[in-house]
Amino acid sequence: MIEIGIVGASGYTGGELIRLLANHSQAEVTVATSRKLAGQPIHKVHPHLQNSDLKFESVKPEDMEADLVFTATPHGASMNIVPPLVGKGIKVIDLSGDYRFDDINVYEKWYGLKHEHPLGAVYGLPEIYREEIKKADLVANPGCFPTGAILASLPLVAENLVDRVIVDAKTGVSGAGVKPSETTMYTNVADNVIPYLVTNHRHAPEIQEKLSKFGDVTVHFTPHLVPVIRGILSTVHAFPLEDVTSSYVKELYDNYYKGEPFVNVLDVGEIPRLSSVRGSNYCHIGIFEQDENGRLVIGSSIDNMVKGASGQAIHNMNIMYAFKETESLEYLGLHP
């Protein structure tokens, strides 16, 4: 049984880590930090976790005792927390954007911050970097939008079938985090669809950097906030350099994701539903016929807090420790 610490456990991704790890047979959360809520039982902010005895604690990185720590902290904060943990020999999976970029200049430009403590890290998308993750001490857990967008686009890019993808994404509100704001008020979200950071969201360069390693491709990205609690539906509009049949594309994706425990390539024309993956670590990929004018559409659905954050982080942990990859991630989607 390994001991797990969660830094920043009062947010949604912290709650998800605790929820999912509750049934893990080889890992146990022993420390859940929150400076503001130190001393309070976690069910005061995570009302679904009534049976846990955990209380929030205020623990400095240098004083942390654990085998592995998930840093569920905002970008800018992680860069100061991760290095001392790594320095102590603790394995770290960071859920922020701080260690995701190879090119530190891209990070600094898009996050508007100077990176004080760069470190080598493995990008924690198991479908691409499983072998590297096995040996990693620091994993940078992918962004939620990049997870859905990359999984939907990668086989096309790797096959050099396309040189441009337009990702029109629709996200649930939990992606904005636990802190109230005008943006996430019920009255502003319900019965609305809200494009935001329309041409300048910082997940665009993350998708671009990762896909570029597999092919020459230009990425365009626009997110929308939709009246959904959890889930990201990514609609990828692509223009194959030569016409392709849907059965060819289906076979391409089937082969690409063969053996992957959490990727389901659906039958041609089947819809990747958010409800089909709700609360689970699955990614569903939908494949559609080209339109009359040559456009190909691929869709993917994930739960932004599970495959898009905490579930993928646990998947990474399982790989790092050679646990069964699906351990504590057996939850199926909650449909309806």
Write out the catalytic residue numbers: 144
Task: Confirm or reject binding of residue 104 to a second copy (CB under 8 A).
Answer: no
Closest CA to 280 of 305, 261, 256: 305
Task: Confirm or reject binding of residue 112 to a second copy (CB under 8 A).
Answer: no
The only residue of 235, 304, 310, 316 in contact with a second copy, by rule CB under 8 A:
235
CB 12 within 8 A of CB 305: yes
Complete DSSP assignment for 60-111: -GGG---SEEEE---TTTHHHHHHHHHHTT-EEEE-SSTT--S-HHHHHHHH
CB 54 within 8 A of CB 22: no
Give me the 27-66 binding string for a second copy, x by CB under 8 A, dash otherwise: -------------------xxxxxx---------------
Residues 262-291 that bind a second copy (CB under 8 A): 264, 266, 270-271, 273-280, 282, 284, 286, 288-291
Cα angle value 116/117/121 (rounded, 5°):
140
Which residue do the tokens 């992680």 mark? 78
How many whole angstroms from its chain centre is CA 286? Answer: 19
CB 207 within 8 A of CB 167: yes
**CA–CA gap between residue 205 and residue 20 (Å, rounded):** 30
CB of 257: closest distance to a second copy in angstroms?
A: 12
The smaller minimum CB distance to a second copy, of residues 61 and 308, is found at 308
Task: Confirm or reject binding of residue 23 to a second copy (CB under 8 A).
Answer: yes
Beta pairing, strands 218-225 & 283-287 = unpaired
**CA–CA gap between residue 309 and residue 242 (Å, rounded):** 35
Task: Confirm or reject binding of residue 226 to a second copy (CB under 8 A).
Answer: yes
Give me the 184-223 binding string for a second copy, x by CB under 8 A, dash otherwise: xxxxxxxxxxxxx-xxx---x-------------xxxxx-
CB of 276: closest distance to a second copy in angstroms?
A: 4
Task: Confirm or reject binding of residue 334 to a second copy (CB under 8 A).
Answer: yes
The smaller minimum CB distance to a second copy, of residues 192 and 245, is found at 192
The smaller minimum CB distance to a second copy, of residues 122 and 189, is found at 189
Residues 143-162 that bind a second copy (CB under 8 A): none
Question: Per this entry, what is the length of the chain?
Answer: 336
Residues 291-310 that bind a second copy (CB under 8 A): 291-293, 295, 297, 299
**CA–CA gap between residue 150 and residue 162 (Å, rounded):** 14
**Binding residues with a second copy: total (CB under 8 A):** 84
